[in-house]
Amino acid sequence: MKFDILIGLGAGIFAFLLVMGYNVLPIGLLIAVGYFFWTFVLSRQVIKNGNGVSIATTAIDFEDIGGQSVAKKELQEALDFLLYSDRMKALGIRPIKGILLSGPTGTGKTLLAKAAAKYTNSAFLSVSGSEFVEMYAGVGAERVRGLFKRAREMVRKEKKTSAIIFIDEMDILGAKRGSNVSHHEYDQTLNQLLVEMDGLKADQGAHILVMAATNRPEALDAAILRPGRFDRQVKVDLPDKEGRIAILKIHTKNKPLAQEVDLEEIAHETFGFSGAHLESVTNEAAIFALRENADEITEHHLHEAVEKVMLGEKLDRKPTEEELQRIAIHESGHALLAEVVRPNSVSQISIRSRGNALGYVRHYPKDDLYLYTQAMLEEQIMVTLAGALAEEQILGTRSTGAMGDYEQALNLVEKMLLAGMSSLGVTDVSLLSAEQRQPVTKGILADLEERTMRIIEKNEQALMQVTEILKTEESLSGETLRAHLKHIA
């Protein structure tokens, strides 16, 4: 992009000088020579020098990776092919050439590749798929060739028997061929990678294993996944609660934790967090401790850090008195409903702006749930609708503050339709027209709005009590909130 702007700018200046009557021929020649030099000499040099390829001496063990026990086990099994290659050879098993790690971002795929290198005592080269994509034809393919050559050189230099080439963002390099219409270059690069992998043989002196990572395995060209190429696929998922505890332990090992800190509770609160999020929580907590000049990291620092990672930095945005009243009513509405339908579920309610939110209610997630019943979905929808309905009940009108809530409610209704929980029964929702879907969606929402409104009306006094306290305190813990909602029904 920057390069395009530069070319445009250059052409403009060139034309201007020409119009002004300057002799631009020598400058033109100079630019042409420079361009040739860059394209055919320098860019080749860059490939030779392995620009973009990072070579790390990896000191990561599988024990340094929290959770992911299934992924680690599958990976270690695959790596044993490399470690015991003589036995494999004796049995006529063909060597493994590629392992694909797939899963959400920040779950430890890079760490697993590094640990694999240490486990197998291999040389390690890491490169990102995006670094192969160049505007010059053939550069990507040549980079791939250079990469394999370099891996062999490293094995020789480091006196090892194997090398692991780790390609991150594989979906950029290995997208379905033909999907990048304007870029023939992508296809050439991918073809070259496949050629290199097909040519890998154990008796070339060095065994090269390609490990690739992607967040979008569905975008990969089928040829990549063909047996004999990336024929091992390891799923690296978001960590479950046990995994989160293990990751938190790893990242607090070098930090002074106060005695009262319960990492299990932090793990409970952080459902859906990746390893990278959890690392960030421990780091932010240490920064909060530093800001307060504390010697130890306390529960309070960790809770603050979870909120920061989840919702973003606190903002100095100052709403007007009137807005603040509305925000407090809105958040109290959410909290009230949450405590009625799922007692003890609110962990925090606040009217301090954070990230995009003017206020927020945080809930304790139910223990790592992967299935939801109809009742659970309906309750969640009622909690999301309660903010706007509380505004309507107390102030007579709704506001734009509920737009995000409606989006969430509609997503949950969509889930109900897909799961056959609506009056349509089990049906292929994608075949329904908007006219068929709309009345069903509307019906579900109207019914749940009515149920929510009844609860708000019944508990209006408690709602206003929480609103008033929230306006002075700005933020309340779940326990304090519940003390004011003792008599709700």
Element (H, E) at 434: helix 434-458
For residue 205, what are the β-bridge partners? none
Q: Is there a catalytic annotation at residue 331?
A: yes
Of 172, 164, 168, whose CA–CA distance to 220 is shortest? Answer: 172
- How is 51-67 classified by DSSP, letter by letter? TT-EE------GGGS-S
Give whichever of 107 and 347 is closer to ligand ATP, judged by the CB atom: 107
Pairing outcome for strands 232-235 and 475-477: unpaired
67 near ligand ATP (CB under 6 A): yes
Judged by CB under 6 A, does residue 128 bind ligand ATP? no
Q: Which stretch binds ligand ATP (CB under 6 A): 45-53, 109-117, 221-229, 446-454?
A: 109-117
Consecutive H or E run containing 1: none
The one among 247, 248, 346, 476 contacting ligand ATP by CB under 6 A: 247
List the Cα angle 310/314/319 in 5-degree steps. 120
Q: Which stretch binds ligand ATP (CB under 6 A): 66-74, 257-265, 290-298, 347-355?
A: 66-74
In the list 102, 110, 192, 298, the residue contacting ligand ATP (rule: CB under 6 A) is 110
The residue range among 50-58, 59-67, 288-296, 439-447 that interacts with ligand ATP, by the rule CB under 6 A, is 59-67
56 vs 276, beta carbon nearer ligand ATP: 276
Classify residue 76 by its DSSP letter.
H
The verdict on 66 binding ligand ATP (CB under 6 A) reads yes
Judged by beta carbon, residue 215 or residue 408, the one nearer ligand ATP is: 215
**Of residues 85, 107, 270, 282, which one binds ligand ATP by CB under 6 A?**
107
Q: Is 111 in the site for ligand ATP (CB under 6 A)?
A: yes
Closest CB to ligand ATP among 60 and 346?
A: 60
Quote the tokens at residue 454. Answer: 């009844």
Q: Judged by CB under 6 A, which of 142, 221, 269, 279 binds ligand ATP? A: 279
From 61-69, 150-158, 282-290, 347-355, give the range in contact with ligand ATP by CB under 6 A. 61-69
Q: Does 105 bind ligand ATP (CB under 6 A)?
A: yes
Give the chain's radius of gyration (CA, Å).
Answer: 29
127 near ligand ATP, judged by CB under 6 A:
no
As a whole number of angstroms, the distance between CA 310 and CA 312 comes to 6
State the nearest-atom distance from the C-beta of 164 to ligand ATP, in Å.
14
213 contributes a contact to ligand ATP by CB under 6 A? yes
CA atoms within 13 A of residue 358's CA, in its CB half-sphere: 20
- C-alpha span between 291 and 310 (Å, rounded): 20
Number of chain positions touching ligand ATP (CB under 6 A): 19
Nearest distance from residue 184's CB to ligand ATP, in Å? 27
Check 74, 134, 307, 331 and give the catalytic one: 331
For the bound state, the minimum distance from the C-beta of residue 242 to ligand ATP, rounded and expressed in Å, comes to 12
Helix (H, G, I), strand (E, B) or coil at 361: strand
Closest distance to ligand ATP from the beta carbon of 275 (Å): 2
Integer angstrom CA distances of residue 293 from 120, 297, 298: 44, 10, 12
Q: Which residue among 55, 223, 276, 464 contacts ligand ATP (CB under 6 A)?
A: 276
Closest CA to 476 of 489, 467, 464: 467
Q: Where are the alpha helices (DSSP H) in 254-373?
A: 263-269, 275-291, 299-311, 321-341
Helices (H), 292-402: 299-311, 321-341, 374-395
Q: Are 133 and 186 a contacting pair, CB within 8 Å?
A: yes
Stretch that binds ligand ATP, among 65-73, 135-143, 368-376, 417-425 (CB under 6 A): 65-73
> CB–CB of 258/297 below 8 Å?
yes
Pick out residues in 365-424 that bind ligand ATP (CB under 6 A): none
If phi > 0 it is left, if psi is from -120 to 50 it is alpha, else beta; for residue 353 that is beta
Name 443's Cβ contacts closer than 8 Å, sequence gap at least 6: 423
- The region of 100-108, 252-260, 326-334, 414-422 touching ligand ATP under the rule CB under 6 A is 100-108
- Catalytic residue numbers? 331
Residues that bind ligand ATP in the complex, under the rule CB under 6 A: 65-68, 105-111, 168, 213, 215, 247, 250, 275-276, 279
